[in-house]
Structure 1
């Protein structure tokens, strides 16, 4: 995954300092971040191809409180969806990240099929 940003240094600092993501310098100050386990979903569309980034958490209220203590401002109230509780925050560079607590079975901890 690559996030294209109008202020890459600010977004890197946010991921490193606010979200606490471990990282390595890939050269020239370009940081590569370790992320928690991830999932990918593919949804149909008749419009333009878009991609969204959703961070998952176990407890949305607790996670939001922890992030607020680090200065994060949420730009959407928590909404209850059939698949989970959802909110969003803006990155310093202008991008948006969604944060959600899944209410569905998750795939990130499924064993790999090595057959």
Structure 2
């Protein structure tokens, strides 16, 4: 039986990105040993999209109110890396992690599955 999902973010500054997840995003976590933090995520869902290119995987955080969330991030000094774009499926943007990587965020306009 599948009991959960484990997402891995590869980082060039894992310690700083872990601190960001803990301190800025407020994700609770556990120490898996030796300071290796694993964080609890909000409810999740998975989609499978067709591609003509090589298979790839993406990780997005979902927000109920993207504009309010972005205001909170700006107040904390978080860099917003993309202007909000209106897609048919939701409002999309991204923030900068301390390592320099982008973390996409979106406010879904589609029915959500994570509460089923």
Give the conservation status (yes or no) of the 8 Å contact 2:79–2:95.
yes
TM-score (norm 1): 0.91
Let me know the Cα RMSD of the aligned residues. Answer: 0.9
Match of 2:94 among 46, 71, 88: 88
Write the deviation string for residues 51-83 of structure 1: whole angstroms up to 9, x where unpaired: 111100100000000111111111100000000
Matched, 1:31 2:33: no
What are the ranges of 5 or more consecutive residues in structure 2 without an aligned counterpart?
1-6
**Please, which of 106, 110, 113 is the counterpart of residue 107 of structure 1?**
113
> What is the TM-score when the length of structure 2 is the normalising length?
0.91
CA deviation after TM superposition for structure 1 residue 89, in Å: 1.2
- Cα distance in structure 2, aligned partners of 1:94 and 1:51: 19
Name the CA distance, whole Å, in 2 between partners of 1:45 and 1:86: 20
- Are 1:22 and 2:28 counterparts? yes
Aligned residue pairs, count: 110
Segments of structure 1 that go 5 or more residues without pairing to the other structure are 111-115
Moved over 4 A (4+): none
